[in-house]
Amino acid sequence: MRQPAAFLFDLDGTLAETLPDIAASCNHVRSRHGLPPADLAAVRAFVGDGARALLARALHDALPGAGTRREAMLDDALAMYVDHHHAQCTVHARLFPGVLPFLERERAAGRRLGVVTNKPERFARPLLAHLGVADLLGAIVGGDTLPQRKPSPEPLRAALRELGIAAASAVMVGDGVQDLRAGKAAGLSTIGCLFGYGDIATLRAEGADAWWASFGVAAD
């Protein structure tokens, strides 16, 4: 893969270990619905498609199958999650090893950097500031920034417009099939992260232009 002019990164499971905080807020909502705590492995399987989808999976046993009552319950659950996660989202979160020096090096070399995540922007921005990388980023697009979220290519296109970079000169880096599908649909090169929250076999089957075994470190 040739050197890109810009990198777009997923957040949860790509730039940062955020699962413990997601699990804490998820289990807060589960407890309010009479459900026992879900362990980290279970919560890992819930993430990737935004907070509402996470809660639909986390509350599967407590929700009606379909209809307006289900949607109303999800609305209430999301409000509960949002209220809890405002304080929780930075409690345990940390950058994966190698992230900060990679971002600093690439930014110093003149490359543009952005984050495109399905995490709501209201959490992504304070989290990235807490992690000390917000000032290195030229674009932050969250799961509620636009009507669409990954795997739609539109959030990536919005970030590229903000960065002033053409899709053919950029790469999408992420640990989920949503990232790889969005990158391909938008015309970016893709890097799949095998160290994150996505299932490795599923990622491999999806295909990417390159793979990282850990952040910034190539895998076969």
List residues with catalytic annotation: 10
183 DSSP 8-state letter: H
148 DSSP 8-state letter: -
d(CA 204, CA 98): 23
CB 112 within 8 A of CB 78: no
Residue among 203, 182, 214 at smallest CA distance from 10: 182
CB 159 within 8 A of CB 114: yes
Residue among 92, 77, 171, 75 at smallest CA distance from 127: 92
The pair of three-digit structure tokens given for residue 45, joined into one six-digit string:
């399987």
3-state secondary structure of 114: strand
What is the greatest pairwise CA distance in the chain?
Answer: 53
